[in-house]
């Protein structure tokens, strides 16, 4: 009787271990694997030129509306999309990005920036050539950053692995950047939502 009880206890422990391992494997396979890639020289040059132009434009701007379509132009040209053009084939101002994406059937929300899986999906989407953006949704004119091809890097401030990014910073053009981590664009993950175009 004692031997039977011992065998039953050992059997239950083994079953519990195997259930834990199976659960762990399911969680591991649910994580998007990110295949690192490099930014092409053409795209790198395009971003560098666009950022230099934007800084110059802002330095010489006469009204606050000057240069406000530079962000939509950069996104559109980088990813070869026309989502951010109006009926006259002109680039819209960056305030229009959020409403356009939210109304579109071709853009999908990947998740919030505090979710590692959403960050993984965003980097992989960009590596696959899909237009991918991080948007501060707390305001209609919130900061927008492009996720660009590259790899995830550790962010000390976010305590997450974050995608490679580029951004034109409308409120301070000198802070515009390329080929830096997404956490460089946003102080925290709060209100930052990731979107990708199918």
CATH number of 42-197: 3.90.1720.10
Res. 4: pLDDT tops 60 = no
Res. 158: pLDDT tops 70 = yes
Q: How far apart are alpha carbons 176 and 155 in whole angstroms?
A: 19
* The model scores a pTM over 0.85: no
Res. 110: pLDDT tops 60 = yes
Q: What is the mean pLDDT of residues 70-88?
A: 96
Q: How far apart are alpha carbons 74 and 46 in whole angstroms?
A: 9
Can you give the pLDDT at residue 66? 86
**pLDDT range class, residue 20, cuts 50, 70, 90:** very low
Res. 64: pLDDT tops 80 = no
Q: Lowest-pLDDT range, 27-41, 65-79, 114-128, 139-153?
A: 27-41
Mean pLDDT, the chain, integer: 87
Q: What is the mean pLDDT of residues 75-101?
A: 95
């Amino acid at each position: 009787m004692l031997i039977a009880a011992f065998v039953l206890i050992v059997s239950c422990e083994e079953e519990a271990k195997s259930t834990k391992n199976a659960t762990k494997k399911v969680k591991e396979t649910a994580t998007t694997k990110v295949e690192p890639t490099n930014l092409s020289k053409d795209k790198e040059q395009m971003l560098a030129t666009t950022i230099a132009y934007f800084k110059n434009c802002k330095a010489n701007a006469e009204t606050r509306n000057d240069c406000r379509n530079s962000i939509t132009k950069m996104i559109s040209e980088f990813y070869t999309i026309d989502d951010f053009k109006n009926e006259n084939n002109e680039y819209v101002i960056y305030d229009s990005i959020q409403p356009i994406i939210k109304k579109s059937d071709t853009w999908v929300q990947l998740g919030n920036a505090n979710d590692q899986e959403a960050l993984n999906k965003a980097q992989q989407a960009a590596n696959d050539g899909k237009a991918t953006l991080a948007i501060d949704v707390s305001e209609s004119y919130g900061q927008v950053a492009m996720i660009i091809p590259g790899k995830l890097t550790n962010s000390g401030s976010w305590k997450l692995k974050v995608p490679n990014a580029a951004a034109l910073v409308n409120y301070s053009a000198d802070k515009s950047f390329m080929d830096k981590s997404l956490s460089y664009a946003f102080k925290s993950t709060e209100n930052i939502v990731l979107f990708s175009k199918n």
